[in-house]
Every structure is written in structure tokens, then in C-alpha cells.
Amino acid sequence: CPRPKLISSSPHPPPPHLPLQRQQVYSNSGRRMQAFNEFDFRRRVDIALTTVRQIVHRTRCPVYAADAQHSYSDKFVLSNLLVRLALGSTFQALSVLGISEEEFATLLEWSKDKTVSLRLKAEEKCKFVKETVREQESATRTETAGHIGAKTFGSSTKTVTRITEYVWKFEGSYQLLAFRGVGASEADQIAIRGREYTREIVTGAKTNPRHDHRVHPNVDVDISWLLQHVSAADGGVSFEIARADPSCRTPRRNKEVDAALQHMGKLSRWAREVWGFMQRELFRTAQLGLGQTDRETRLDVNSINPEGVFVPVAPLFIIKEQGGGGEHGAGDGPGELAFKPTDISAFIAEQHRSLTEKIAKVAATLPAHPGALITGSEAHVAICVQHVTDIVTQLSESVGYVEHMLRQQLYAAIGKEISSEDFAAFKRFHNRKLFREDAQPVAFSYAVRRSELHSPEGMVAIEEKSGGSMEGGLFEPVFTHVRGGRGSKPMKFNINAATAVRFNGERFVHAWLMTAFSGQTPSEVQLTAQARQLSSFIVLIGRVVSADTFEPKYGMIVQNKDDFRIPLNLTTIPTAKEFKEAIDSMSPEQQRFAKAWRAMQLESTLFAVCVVQIKPLLERVLNLPPESLSKEIKLTQDLTELFIKYQIPADLLTAGTIETAPAPPTEDGFEVVAGASAVDKVAEVKGHVAAMRELIDEEKKKQITDAAQTAVFDAYESGMVPQTMSETYDDPFGNVLQTASVQEFQPTLMSMPVMSAPAAKSRRSAPGGAVFKAMFGGISKSAAPAPQRESMVAPPPPPPPGGGPPSAAPVRMAAPAAPPMPAQMQQKQQQQAAPQVQQVEKKPDTSKPVERLVGVEESSAGEGVADVPDYTKLPAQLDKRLEELDTSNAVRPTIIAAGETWTKKAMASLMSKAPTTTILEEEGLREEKSKAFELLDALTRSGALIVEEAALHVVIGATHTFDKGLVDTVVQDNVNPVVQVERSSLIMASSIMQTPAAQLIKGEHLERVKALTPALFPVEALMDLQN
């Protein structure tokens, strides 16, 4: 016979790193049965294999099932054989235990209409008999010798110990019996084996070593299922797996094998309880109060075991030797490799012989007198029940071995151990093959740009870690089914209680199907927002709460190579069928509450991301033509800073005025003042920005000067600075400032005492200077003479291009000269021959009640335009479709929510080499959202302007969950997860894209998918497709 090996029928050997040394064996209910230890299992099977080879004819060679070329049907034949062998050998063990053939026939008759059970009942008593005192001499003697003259005398002594002993009478009994129903009468009971025993126990303390009187709880086991599989005709066992039953999955995973393991497992637990009773109550009691010469103290309790007893349950096939040369072949069809009935009878006979022989050998070493606690009867019971336990263990591991073969064959066919990450990659591959070009899932990674002709401002993506949560995994975009287009009517969102911003633009609905296998580490998912250098946009994260309302929870401005990483938390809710089953027995009020809560949960699955472009909004709010700010990077950043940091109203920076009687719009929808060009308008806005920056700088300098004067005044008031002190300092902006001389404050200082000479020498370290340095950092002194106070009156700023009133009134502050205009702008102004923009202030016309801002477009919504789709209805519609078409009931709606700990990488400056990483939590997120909302408030004039350049991405998620791991789903459940996920993808894609599934699939796959999932293809849709 060939040497056993793991798998010989597979084209490739299993990978060396997949020994599967220990594997848990589960029933279909998920309950753990018995651990499969391959090494221990093979050791026991090798012992059985040796005996089997001795029993069968020499031309027939028994081998491991994996070592014989066989079919899938042969695995079912093997499972049937294993259970039959287990049942036959169990009945043989019970027969040896003490059930005769007549009694066994009675049990079979009882099992037709009643349950039949086995029971262990036991009782014990322990009473005090007497107290005895005995003397025990010590083993040593002390001798004393002396001399008186020539006479010698001596003495010897011994120590005698008085020992008080207490004698107890211990009586007990146990009985194994079979009974019908509840065993109410003796007619319903059959005694199998039992014994009464009595003995004395001697203790050194008057404490009962056992119990005064104790009735042990009965230990019962129902064996009706075993008896029902005994054939009434010939007394043999009958067992067959119903392969036609839809619940039958594999040779291991079916109702029949599960039932066998369940009932045999109960019998095994009962046998262990009986063996435990023997060990606790008899074997240990036998050691109490016995002398060293007592025979029972010399008993080797460990020898009372079933070692050497033949267990015929083994996953073996029979092959025939050919030509005497050691070659072997398979049978001609299913079942040809299995053992014959004559072989099974021979195996059972050998089991009976080896079991009775073992009992006789052990009983010969035990005392036979009635007073002994451990006799041949106890050894008989102990060996039989341990043998039953071995039979059940071998059955559980043998059917587990059949499943183990399937697992190893799958590994050998694929060449590696596959994981959930491998399945995700395969799913993308399969979708490319399955769906048509216009229906394939696309990566959720979108560039933020005005049009295809413009470079992207950045990107927004939802990414998943490809390597699970292990360190070193890469984040890759998730794939979704998408339906999108430009919105017909504006939606809105609130940035505060009084301001609602309306927005139009592109809108996308994404159907994202995830997969989750049992034991899989949850994937890390994140939303990524990245901006390019010198670019910026706004990202809002929230949910769609109604047909026209987006509710942002978070917001941020992404600019200048910012990189935001926002973790996404995924939470699944029950499927529609699970929900209905859960509330089926609730009261009407409880059901209404549960349904209302589920409606809220379903709408919570609408995760939304809104991307708002900043430059188009700046152009609209400043009344500039489109794309006029495309290359005005410095101006764009200055405007953003003015809006966010200083909250300057947009009206102060707009090119143009508020018109009550607007001129006709141009082709692009913008209105312009007659004669103005794009360059003129940009120059005008630059002038407003320069004036505003100048005003802000002057306010900064005034604050510095006021702070310096306050510090000096406080120092003089405290009497620590000389009256003639007058020094100059350089402020942080490089402007020369001078502290006011003492004479200017003379009326205030008239009553102040003059400092002494020592104090005057230390004026450099006066407290006033310390206060100034503490407020403004390092300050250098200057020897330049103090300027006159008249020089602190700043000249008026130059008028804007084209004339007009000055933009700001004179400020009595020391201010720097206006910065020169850039050479590029001067060249542009010199080349302009067109007339300049004329700003004419008009009084409002009270006869026209409605004012309109120049450059503001009307809403694109109007008569004859379709309403905005109600995204909040999508979850309920998808939930209903899944309930109707998802036969596996495994697709659960998934709530997607942004986490509360973000990571932001930002460049400190344009020339920075490495970004600075910041962790944003509650306070940081609130600050980012505040900045984004303040900028939106300025760019929309508090909601007066409609945001036309916004992209809304609505993501509805669902997770196809599997109760087991990927390989266990294939091997144990006999389920192809590819087909399961394929059906779920088609349900979601057809629901989101509002297209029949038949129009989403490539033609070469239509018939296959239709055969596997016919419910997805209504007859009408197929007829239309064929036509």
C-alpha cells in the first residue's frame, strides 16, 4: 500500500505554510463541536489503519481518503460510512456495557412512540461509628549506661505516641439504567449495571470525610435518535445524507451529519460524566483512611483506560492492487472505494473482541471482595464509557477530515491562501468583465476643476486601505456605481440660523457595495481632500436631509497643498427581513416606534460631500468676468484672507455698484458697466484690496503706537523713568516710532517726584522698557532725531484708476508710502486705449421695489423645469429592492459617518520642503468649519448669490456580510461568494441608475446571470432587450 500523504489527487501540493495543524469543527448552527488536531488524528487513524489492513484481504489496500483518486460524490459516500460505523460501534460498546439483545429489542420498541434515555443514579452515606485510641511506639530507642566501681549498669527508653482515630462507615451505590419517557415506574426501566459497596474510613479528626447522606443528581442522555437509525429488518444501522435537500451544502455541512454529531456529542458528554463520577466518588474515596499495605493504594488508576481497543471509525478508502507491483487504482464509480458490509461486520467483531479483552485484563488486576470500592465492575463501566467517548471523537474528526480535504484541495488549486483583500481585488476584476462600459463601477476620486480646459485645483476621494489595518497597507479609491448630471433646481444648506446658501452644479449619486467576511479585520476607510499649490476650494461633509436640503456637519478650506485625511466610520443596520422578523411579535406601538427609528437610520445612510470652488464665487461676488482671477494668485489669496480673517464685506471690494435698473446681460450671464474691461475690473478690485490692506496696516501700527505710549505712560506714572527721556524704537514692521517726550505729558507729570541720580543711571533697565519689550519682542534703539508730531499725519491715498473720490479718509498715523504698482500692471494700463470704467453713484429709485446686484444671475430654476430628485427616498427604495431580490438576506444598509479625529498636512510657506502634520479634534474641527462658513457667507453675500460651481456627491452604502470567512464560505457553506456579491451589485446598480439589470450586463454574461438570479430579470425587460 502507498505511504499516506496529505493530498495526492490535487495537481499541486499544498503550500508548506498551510499545515492546518488545528482547526475548529463547527455545526451549521455555529456551535463548536470538537477541535481537529491533525497530528493526534493521524496517530489514531494510523493505529486503526494497521488493524484494518490485517482484517481485509491482502489484495485490497486501505488508504487515507485523500490518497485515493475519488470524486465529489465519493465524499458523501465516505460521510455516510463514517456515521454508520460510529453508530454500529456505539451500539456494540453499549452491548458490552450490559445491554442484552432482548433488552436492546425492548429499547427499539420503546423508541417508536417514546423517548429512550440512559441514566446514572448514585447515592452515598457516611456515618460515625466509634472512636479508638491506640499506642504507637517510635522506631528509635534511647539507651543510657553507667559505672560504679567495677559494676556497670544501664537503661533504655522508647517513645510511645497515643493516637486517637475516628472510624466512619461509608456506604454507597450506583446504577446505570435505560428508561422510557420519564421512567415513572419499574416497568419503564431496564437496569444495565450497578453495585452497592461498603467500607470503613479512618480519619484523624472527627470530621466527616464524605457526606452524611447525599443523593447525586441524575445524569441522563436521550438515545432515541440513535435507536431510530437501527434497521428493524436485520438490526443493522441505516444512515443516508439527503443530497436533494436544499439545506445540504457539503458532505460535512448537512442536517443529517449535524444531527449525528449533535446526538453523538450528547452521548459523549454523558459518558464523560459517568467517567468523572468514577474518578471523583470512587477512585479518590478509595485512597481515604487506608494503610500503606492496603491493596487499593497500590492500584494504578491510569491503567483503567481503553487503550488498545479498536475504533473502526476512520476516513479510509479501499483500492485494489494491480499486477502485484504496488500500483493502485480507483473504483469504477461512486461508492466503489468504500468498505463493503462484510468489512463493516468484521470491523465491529474486532472491536467487540478487543474491548472485552481489555476489560478482562484490567479486571484481573483489581480486588474482587465486596468491600473494595474499585473492582472489575467499575473497570468494566469505566473502559466502556471511555471507549464511547473515543468513538464520538473519532467521528467528529473524521467528518472534519472530509472538510479538511476540500480546504486543502482549494488551496492547491489556487496556489495560495486567499484573504478578503484578495477577494476585493477579484471583485473589481469581475466587475470589469460583467458590466458594460457605461455601467461599470468607477473609482471615487474626483478632480476639483472648472472645466476640462482648466488644471485641477485639487482632488477629493474616498479611499480604503488595501492591506487591511496592517502597517504598510496602501489606501486606494473605492469603486461605486454612479449616476450623475447637473442639477435642475438649486439645493440649499444653512451656514447659520439666518443664512441659507443655495447651490447648483453637478450632482452624483454613488452606490457603494462593501463586503465583510466573519473574522475579517474592519477596513480603514478615509475621505481625502488635497489641494495643489496656489489653489483652493471648500469641502463640506454632512447628509442630505430632504429633497432640497443638505446639512453640513463639517467644513474646511483646502488650499496650498493642504492634505486632509478624514476617517470614515461604517456601521451596519439589520436587513429588511431581519427587521421584520425582530418586530413581528411586538405591540403595534412598539412596531411604530421601531419603524420610525429605522426610517431615520435609512436616511442616515445618505453620506454627502459638497465641493465648492472659490475662484468662480470670487469673480461673481466681485462682479468680475469669468476666469478673470485664474492667474491672479496673489489677489485671490489676499481676498480670501480679507474675507476670513478680517470679515471684510464683499461690497467694499466689488468692481461696480448696486444698480436698480440693470443693463441687459451678456452672453455669459454677467452684467458690466459700459466701457469696462476685464483688466479694468481686476485693477479696480486690486485698488480696493490695496486700500483695505493699507487701512489694516495703519490700524496695526496705531495699536502698536498706542501700546508703546501706554507702556511709557505707566512707567512715568510709577516714577521709574527720567523726565527728559525720549527714545526711538523700530516696530516689527520696520517703521520708526518715537515715544512721546516728557514735555508733552508735563501737565500729567507735574506732581510726580524727580528720580535720583542712581535711578537715572539705570534708565536703560527701567520697568517701562521691560513692559514694551514683553509686549512687542526684541526692539532696537535708534539714534535718529525724533520726528515732529506734524509728520505723523499721513497723506491721503492716491485716487483709484479712473478718478473718483478717495477710498479712505486721512488717518493721523505714521504710515509708509503707497507701494509702487507692479510693472506688469503698469504695462497693461499703458496698453489700454479703451475708456476707463466710470463709477456713477445713483440714488435709488423708490418706484422700483426690487434691488438687484450687478453680476448676480437669476436662479436657473423656473417654469417647466423638473424638480430636484428626493435623495432621501433612495435608501427606502433600495431597501425594498433588496428585500425582494436578495435571497441570501445578507446585504445590510450601512451608515457612513465622518470620524472626529482628522489629520491635516499643510505647508508652512511656498518654499517649505516638508509639510506640518496637525491632528484636528473637536476645537480644531470647529475652527475649520467656522472659517469655511465665514468665507461662504462673504462669497454669497449672506446667501444672496447662488453658488453655481458646486459638486454634490451623495453616497449610499451597503455591506454584503458573510457569516463565515472567505474560505469557510466556499468550503463549509458550498457558496460561491462571487455570485452572491454579483447579485447584490446588480440590485444596487439597477436601483441607483434606474436601469434594468439586463441593460447593465455584457451580452456574453447575460444567460449565466439570468440562470443564477432569474428574479433580477423580469420577462418584459428581457423581451425589450431581445427586440
Give Cα 502 to chain centroid, integer Å.
37
Whether residue 755 is predicted with pLDDT greater than 60 in this model: the reply is no
Q: Say what percent of the chain tops pLDDT 70.
A: 74
Q: Say what percent of the chain tops pLDDT 90.
A: 46
Whether residue 7 is predicted with pLDDT greater than 70 in this model: the reply is no
Tens digits of per-residue pLDDT, 458-489? 999 999 987 654 455 789 999 999 998 887 88
pLDDT at residue 328, rounded to an integer: 42
In degrees, to the nearest 5, what angle opens at C-alpha 676 toward C-alphas 671 and 682? 95
Which range (26-30, 108-112, 696-700, 739-743) has the least confidence?
26-30
What distances in angstroms separate CA 646 from CA 117, 534, 815, 932, one per listed residue? 88, 21, 20, 14
pLDDT at residue 487, rounded to an integer: 79
How far is residue 615's CA from residue 30's CA, in Å, rounded to a whole number? 59
The pairing of strands 947-961 and 499-516 is parallel
Cell reading at 995: 436601469
HSE-up (13 A, CA, CB side) for residue 951: 21
Tens digits of per-residue pLDDT, 892-908? 999 999 999 999 999 88
The H or E element spanning position 833 is none
How far is residue 294's CA from residue 123's CA, in Å, rounded to a whole number? 25
How far is residue 386's CA from residue 394's CA, in Å, rounded to a whole number? 12
- Whether the CB-CB separation of 893 and 605 falls below 8 Å is answered with yes
Phi, psi of 53 (to 5 degrees): -65, -30
Left if phi > 0, otherwise alpha if psi is -120 to 50, otherwise beta: which for 415? left
How far is residue 314's CA from residue 65's CA, in Å, rounded to a whole number? 9
33-68: buried (b, 16+ CB within 10 Å) or exposed (e) per residue? bbebebeebbebbeebbebbeebbeeebbbbbbbbb
Out of 213-217, 317-321, 736-740, the most confident range is 213-217
The pairing of strands 189-203 and 536-546 is unpaired
Q: Shortest CA distance to 188 belongs to which of 258, 89, 110?
A: 110
The dihedral over CA atoms of 762, 764, 767, 770, expressed in degrees to the nearest 10, equals -150
Tens digits of per-residue pLDDT, 510-523? 999 999 998 888 88
What distances in angstroms separate CA 688 from CA 75, 648, 1016, one per listed residue? 86, 11, 63
pLDDT at residue 263, rounded to an integer: 96
The H or E element spanning position 183 is none
Place of cell 465665514: 934
* Mean of pLDDT over the chain: 78
Whether residue 26 is predicted with pLDDT greater than 50 in this model: the reply is no
Whether residue 573 is predicted with pLDDT greater than 50 in this model: the reply is yes
Tens digits of per-residue pLDDT, 362-401? 988 887 776 678 888 899 999 999 999 999 999 999 999 9
Question: Which residues lie closer than 8 Å to 561 by C-beta, 6 or more apart?
Answer: 530, 531, 532, 533, 906, 907, 915
pLDDT at residue 718, rounded to an integer: 75
Whether residue 827 is predicted with pLDDT greater than 90 in this model: the reply is no
pLDDT at residue 763, rounded to an integer: 37
What distances in angstroms separate CA 321 from CA 61, 78, 318, 388, one per listed residue? 7, 20, 10, 34
Place of cell 474616498: 462
Q: Shortest CA distance to 828 belongs to which of 627, 672, 638, 677?
A: 677
Which range (322-326, 443-447, 573-577, 618-622) has the least confidence?
322-326
Tens digits of per-residue pLDDT, 123-153? 999 999 999 998 888 777 777 766 666 676 6
Whether residue 782 is predicted with pLDDT greater than 60 in this model: the reply is no
Structure pTM?
0.74
pLDDT at residue 646, rounded to an integer: 81
pLDDT at residue 59, rounded to an integer: 84
Tens digits of per-residue pLDDT, 233-288? 566 889 999 999 999 999 999 999 999 999 999 999 999 999 999 888 887 777 66
How far is residue 107's CA from residue 91's CA, in Å, rounded to a whole number? 12
Cell reading at 209: 470525610
pLDDT at residue 159, rounded to an integer: 83
Higher pLDDT, 717 or 111: 111
Cell reading at 107: 429499547
3-class SS letters over 764-816: HHCHHHHHHHHHHCCCCEECCCCCCHHHHCCCCCCCCCCCCCCCCCCCCCCCC
- Whether the CB-CB separation of 1002 and 434 falls below 8 Å is answered with yes
